[in-house]
């Protein structure tokens, strides 16, 4: 039996009618909660619903298409939500994410006339537990809008008690207001506000100092004792945009490993280490380094999305050749 329109409207309202409690995704501002519900679909399989705004002051740097940064943040939130609501991880436990990857569907366009109602099919694997409960797991997610697959992602999670976290983080630095230096122009990295810029200017090709502004209400919605992974991934994206001179460029894929915690006391640098010499899309290997240690390493594939009346993917081959020559100069 096919449900009538009123029944469909009721189900949509149930799934997208309100956000979930903010503490379940580790957010303070209700406005920054993206998730609207979670339902069990089977053994360790869940359906998560989310609503993405038509435009966002931070997650709005990709014209026409879906912003990969919005997928990254949604993946973070749903991983935390699954832990608290399905794996019985108590509030107050500390989360560490050793890795995260996202892939975007080329050519998937957002309807600019309404918020996107997102359905995410989530599978939880690699669950590990100890006496205190779940200590680690992995989420794999596929994102759909109006039945169209628009992205996929995976994330690892480690759960640490507050006592254990305090022991391993006893040396942590103090948050600073903003890393000193001159930010790169916001327009060159796809943003309208300099508040969203996470790189400082540099004369060294392929190297940019990391900019950390703890007054940013999106990246630092709640108190942290380290630089968050969402900021580190955004820093790599901004570096790639600068390197290819394309503020509209976005990831097709990003695979990030958080090797060690990025401290507030770090004088960290974003480094583009190599650019592929093969066919499109461009493949970039990048890292964030500080004090002689790698904090994050990432493998990226990217193309630019340009508006030409008909939306299409355009090659970055010319800029890539120039960048590769500079990196090896």
pLDDT in tens, the chain (329 residues): 444 444 444 555 678 999 999 999 999 999 999 999 999 988 899 999 999 999 888 887 776 789 999 999 999 999 999 999 999 999 999 999 999 999 999 888 888 889 999 999 999 999 999 988 999 999 999 999 999 999 999 999 999 999 999 888 866 655 655 566 799 999 999 999 999 999 999 988 899 999 999 989 999 999 888 999 999 999 999 999 999 999 989 999 999 999 999 988 889 999 999 887 666 778 999 999 998 899 999 999 987 654 332 233 334 444 545 555 555 55
Nearest C-alpha neighbor of 34 from the set 11, 47, 15, 53 = 53
For residue 11, say if its preceding peptide bond is cis, omega within 30 degrees of 0.
no
| 158 and 95 Cβ atoms separated by less than 8 Å | yes
Q: Give the Cα separation of 117 and 111 in Å (integer).
A: 11
C-alpha distances in Å from residue 306, one per residue of 47, 65, 191:
33, 10, 16
pLDDT value for 308:
31
Q: Give the Cα separation of 101 and 154 in Å (integer).
A: 5
Q: 45 — phi, psi (to 5°)?
A: -125, 130
For residue 86, say if its preceding peptide bond is cis, omega within 30 degrees of 0.
no
Q: How many CA atoms lie within 13 A of 258 on its CB side?
A: 22
Residue 115 CB contacts under 8 Å (≥ 6 apart), including other chains = 51, 52, 53, 54
C-alpha distances in Å from residue 25, one per residue of 20, 77, 127, 129, 204:
8, 5, 19, 21, 38
Domains, the chain, ordered by start: 1-165 (3.10.129.10), 171-329 (3.10.129.10)
Q: How many CB atoms lie within 10 A of CB 101?
A: 19
Helix 229-243 to helix 68-86 angle (10° resolution) is 170
Greatest Cα pair distance in the chain: 67
Placement of tokens 């991934």 in the chain? 233
pLDDT value for 212:
93
| 183 and 164 Cβ atoms separated by less than 8 Å | no
| 297 and 242 Cβ atoms separated by less than 8 Å | no
pLDDT value for 57:
87
Which helix (H) or strand (E) is 278 found in, with range?
A: none
């Amino acid at each position: 039996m096919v449900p009538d329109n009123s029944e469909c409207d009721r189900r949509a309202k149930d799934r997208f009618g309100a956000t979930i409690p903010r503490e379940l995704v580790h957010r303070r501002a209700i406005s920054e909660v993206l998730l609207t519900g979670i339902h069990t679909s089977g053994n360790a399989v869940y359906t998560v619903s989310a609503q993405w705004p038509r435009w966002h002051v931070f997650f709005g740097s990709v014209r026409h298409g879906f912003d990969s940064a919005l997928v990254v943040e949604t993946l973070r939130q749903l991983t935390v939500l699954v832990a608290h609501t399905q794996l019985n991880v108590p509030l107050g436990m500390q989360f560490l994410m050793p890795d995260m990857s996202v892939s975007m569907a080329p050519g998937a366009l957002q309807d600019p006339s309404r918020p996107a109602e997102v359905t995410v099919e989530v599978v939880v694997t690699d669950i590990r537990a100890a006496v205190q409960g779940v200590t680690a797991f992995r989420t794999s997610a596929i994102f759909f809008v109006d039945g169209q697959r628009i992205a996929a992602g995976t994330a690892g999670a480690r759960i640490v008690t507050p006592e254990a976290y305090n022991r391993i983080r006893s040396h942590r630095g103090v948050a600073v207001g903003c890393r000193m230096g001159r930010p790169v122009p916001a327009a060159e990295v796809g943003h309208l506000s300099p508040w969203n810029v996470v790189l400082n200017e540099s004369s060294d090709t392929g190297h940019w100092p990391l900019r950390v502004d703890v007054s940013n209400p999106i990246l630092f919605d709640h108190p942290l004792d380290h630089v968050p992974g969402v900021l580190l991934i955004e820093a790599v994206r901004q570096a790639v945009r600068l390197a290819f001179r394309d503020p509209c460029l976005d990831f097709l894929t990003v695979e990030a490993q958080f090797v060690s915690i990025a401290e507030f006391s770090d004088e960290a640098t974003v480094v583009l280490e190599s650019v592929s010499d093969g066919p499109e899309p461009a493949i970039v290997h990048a890292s964030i380094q500080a004090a002689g240690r790698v904090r994050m390493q990432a493998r990226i594939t990217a193309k630019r999305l340009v508006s030409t009346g008909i939306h299409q993917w355009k090659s970055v081959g010319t800029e890539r050749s120039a960048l590769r020559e500079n990196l090896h100069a």
